[in-house]
Amino acid sequence: MGAIYFASDLHLTAVEDPIFDRFSALCRRVAVDGQALYLLGDVFEAYLGDDDDDPLVAAVGVQLRALADAGIALSFTHGNRDFLLGQAFSARAGLRLLDTQAVIELGSRRALLLHGDTLCTDDVEYQSIRRQLRAPQWQAQFLAQPLAARRAFAAQARAQSSAHTASAAAEIMDVNAAAVAELFEQSGAEWIIHGHTHRPALHQLEGSRRRIVLGDWPRAASWLRVADDGSAELFFEGRRVVVD
Ligand code: MN
């Protein structure tokens, strides 16, 4: 028994950085009263492959492994930044890799977990790039390149992504309401939990349906905590919102 924690969009860049300290603090919290931690993507600002010798990747792996060794169930779903996180890192860190969408039983509720980028269907340009980057053949070719070449590609991709984010209309960067409604229907979930949009919120939809959006971490930590009794709290921007 113990609480279940969810977090996403840490966008970790370095060990010597306040975001990493926030991540360490969350790990300590989970170690105290947690039974599970779900990381829903974009834990890393960039991820170049499990063979990356970046000290950040190693440090995150060590922290997660300590939780796993303490009996805490760790799960990870890919974000659009760390979609190359693979089996080797997962084995080192003690993570279970989830599919793009995963349904879990959360007490008496069914919850659907995902990063959230696949719900942003109005961003046609992004969805097209996503298809390319998720193709196994593209990934195999990319991972076969030397790390220096991968680093250069990632820096360029981030610059292009920033330019796109700056120029695209704000509405298309959010989830599409029809895509959300369809996902509730298809999955039969009461809760959809995701990140990606950097628009943390509790959306109270019809009946018992809730869309819980985890916040991004560059300014403050954000997580969802579901207690043994099913009560849940969403933390973001120094605020605490009770999910009811
Ligand atoms: Mn994302």
Tens of pLDDT, residues 131-150: 999 999 999 999 999 999 99
Residue 83: pLDDT above 90? yes
Ligand 1 centroid distance, CA of 177 (Å) = 18
Q: Ligand 1 centre and the CA of 61: distance in Å?
A: 20
For residue 241, the CA-to-ligand 1 centroid distance in Å is 22
Task: Give residue 41 CA to ligand 1 midpoint distance, Å.
Answer: 7
- Tell me: pLDDT of 87 over 90: yes
- Write out the chain in H/E/C secondary structure: CCEEEEECCCCECCCCCHHHHHHHHHHHHHHHHEEEEEECCCCECCCCCCCCCCHHHHHHHHHHHHHHHCCCEEEECCCCCCCCCCHHHHHHHCEEECCCEEEEEECCEEEEEECCHHHCCCCHHHHHHHHHHHCHHHHHHHHCCCHHHHHHHHHHHHHHHHHHHHHCCHHHHCCCHHHHHHHHHHHCCCEEEECCCCCCEEEECCCCCEEEECCCCCCCCCEEEECCCCCEEEEECCEEEEEC
Task: Please state which of the ranges 71-80, 133-142, 150-159, 187-196 shows the lowest mean pLDDT.
Answer: 150-159
Distance 109 CA to ligand 1 centre (A): 25
Query: What pLDDT, on a 0 to 100 scale, did the predictor assign at position 63?
Result: 98
Q: With cut-offs at 50, 70 and 90, classify the pLDDT of residue 167.
A: confident
Separation of CA 89 and ligand 1 centre (Å): 20
158 CA → ligand 1 middle, Å: 12
Q: pLDDT category, 166, cuts 50, 70, 90?
A: confident
224 C-alpha vs ligand 1 centroid, how far in Å?
17
What integer pLDDT is reported at residue 170 of this predicted model? 83
State residue 212's pLDDT score. 98
Q: Does residue 235 surpass a pLDDT of 90? A: yes
Mean pLDDT of the chain: 96
C-alpha 229 to ligand 1 mean position (Å): 30
pLDDT surpassing 90 at residue 37: yes
pLDDT tens digits, 43-71: 999 999 999 999 999 999 999 999 999 99
CA of 116 to the centre of ligand 1 (A): 7
Distance from residue 1's CA to the centre of ligand 1 (Å)? 30
Residue 9 alpha carbon to ligand 1 centre in Å: 6
Residue 197 Cα to ligand 1 midpoint, Å, equals 7
pLDDT (0 to 100) of residue 107: 87
CA 8–ligand 1 middle distance (angstroms): 8
* Ligand 1 midpoint to CA 106 (Å): 24
pLDDT at 169: 83
* Residue 178, pLDDT above cutoff 90: yes
Q: How far is the CA of 19 from the centre of ligand 1 (A)?
A: 16
Q: What spacing in Å lies between the alpha carbon of 42 and ligand 1's midpoint?
A: 5
What is the band of 4 on the pLDDT scale with cuts at 50, 70, 90?
very high
Q: Which of 149-158, 192-201, 206-215, 234-243 has the lowest mean pLDDT?
A: 149-158
pLDDT band at 1 (very low <50, low <70, confident <90, very high): confident
